[in-house]
Structure 1
């Protein structure tokens, strides 16, 4: 049952401040209408450490909604957090939040906003605001006890575990390999590398100078591993770098008795799907839609 809200004009939208941290935490953890897509961060940590765009909706002094977007990267950003208090008018609250956020985004020159619809409650609210379906993110799963063969690479290319000082070079590779909004911010790459169960870079030696040309980051979860990120510089694609990174990752986990590995990729990325099929990754049916709004 939905409680009738006072007039729309009674809603107040403000920017986030640390003194609201507890209220936001309660809103995200205790209500049905929530969206959390942070990948590498806890919500408290992300809101405090990132240059996120965060808005809070208040009614009679009570927090009734929030929306948080990632720091814009190459004129795009993602809705990472959203929540509306149960038994309030979700449409009014979300519309008030988005109206305030959209104005800010346009001033910043953002051209596209994306959201991964982990739960579908937001679709009927965002569609009237101009959001549209873009594509599916598909999940592939491998469950093989036999490790792949050792990778074959050109003599000039080698693979090693990542180091902290690789992050800047990894970000360059990432931004060369992907178009917005699929690029990762350097802060996300740093956090992902820090908490990864296995992370490796491929580097190319040219005239005695090593240059990072690819990387992968993988995590462990309750019943397997997840290849969270794979990127190869377009200048060395089709030379076996991606296959070598995946093969080394699978061999690493196989030696530790981890035989189930998953990976996400875009439904339209047939090149990556072909690569993963080579290693016996198959769709598991857990697909999620990405919706976007064009602001340009």
Structure 2
């Protein structure tokens, strides 16, 4: 099938490719994208971001640039209709991984996979499963309201809180789940709700939530380890669920790892129900 596509070349992407990549993503293409706070095309000026191009135009794209904290996700793999997906991967992945190996050692390339075909491709390329992500859903009709603290207040997150929120991320999350400072700022810009609990003049916990056509999503919740197991997470969840209700949003989702038993127990106290589907996180070590 490859001989249908003439003059195939691999090259690095650049900002002038943006319109063509938009078109690629709007076609009925095979698309794997990282569910981060920024569009994959926001990484267009970062390496490695490779294109497979033919006389007919761009046929595939692959991007896995590290952020400023060297946290790396497979941010985009897209293949236009009619081009063999495996051939595109087998062409672009070696180019990207060669670039990464020249620049970094010990870096982990991560991918949250929601497609069986993509999972098979990654596993054939020596990605290994390290987590399973689960989805929980809250329905107001089946809500439970556990007792929460009344001696603390929840307030809006402010830009001047970013550094403290970033430091909470560093201490509360394992490496691949941390938000870099730029990701933190992007999350704030995209948020429906961004709220914090402050204790003794210091941000002790925060949550960031979004909305979508189906309802609301509790996207981020973290508590400074110094204040964990003291009811702060419960208070933040109560606060955002009330906020969603006030806006007429009555179905809420949240994601967590299947082995994060404390998190699962916390959400189930509010009546969240775990869905059957799970999504693997695969990892490739440089």
TM-score by length of 1: 0.87
- Aligned-partner Cα distance in 1 for 2:99–2:73: 14
**Aligned: 1:239 with 2:237:** no
Mapped contact 2:134–2:258 kept (Cα < 8 A):
yes
Contact preservation (8 Å) 1:75, 1:109: no
Q: Distance in 1 between matches of 2:144 and 2:274?
A: 20
Query: The residue matched to 2:2 in structure 1 has which SS?
Result: coil
CA shift in 2, pair 1:52/1:271, >3 Å: farther
Of 156, 171, 188, 1:193 maps to 188
State the SS of the aligned residue for 1:285: strand
Distance 1:74 1:109, change over 3 A: farther
- Give the equivalent residue in structure 1 for 2:280: 289
Q: Distance in 2 between matches of 1:131 and 1:149?
A: 41
Match of 2:26 among 29, 32, 46: 29
Between 280-289 and 235-244, report the one with greater CA deviation: 280-289
The CA deviation at 1:272 is 0.5
Moved more, 106-115 or 234-243: 106-115
The Cα offsets for residues 53-87 of structure 1, whole Å up to 9 and x where unpaired, read as 31111234732211112424554311111112222
CA shift in 2, pair 1:6/1:110, >3 Å: farther
* CA RMSD, 1 decimal: 2.4
Q: What residue number does 2:63 align with?
A: 68
Distance across 2 between alignment mates of 1:192 and 1:4: 41
Cross-structure match for 1:59: 54
| Secondary structure, counterpart of 2:31 in structure 1 | strand
Cα separation, 2, equivalents of 1:238 and 1:73: 31
Tell me how far 1:141 sits from its aligned partner: 0.5
1:158–1:204: 8 Å Cα contact kept in structure 2?
Answer: no
**Separation in 2, partners of 1:94, 1:173:** 37
Map of 1:154-193 to 2, 5 A cutoff? 158-193=153-188
1:11–1:93 CA contact under 8 A, matched in 2: no
Alpha-carbon spacing, 1:147–1:273, altered in 2? closer, same or farther (3 Å)? closer
The gaps in structure 1 that reach 5 residues or longer are none
Rounded to whole Å, the distance in 2 between the matches of 1:51 and 1:79 is 13
**Cα 1:5–1:165 shift into 2, 3 Å:** farther
Distance in 2, matches of 1:12 and 1:109, equals 27
TM-score by length of 2: 0.89
For the Cα contact (< 8 Å) 2:146–2:270, is it kept in 1?
no
For residues 195 and 286 of structure 1, the distance between their equivalents in structure 2, rounded to whole angstroms, comes to 26
Q: Give 5+ residue unaligned stretches, structure 2.
A: none
SS in 1 for 2:245: helix
Q: How many residues align?
A: 284
Q: Cα distance, 1:195 vs. partner? A: 2.2
Deviation track 1:231-260 (CA, whole Å, cap 9, x = no partner) reads 111121111111111111112222333221
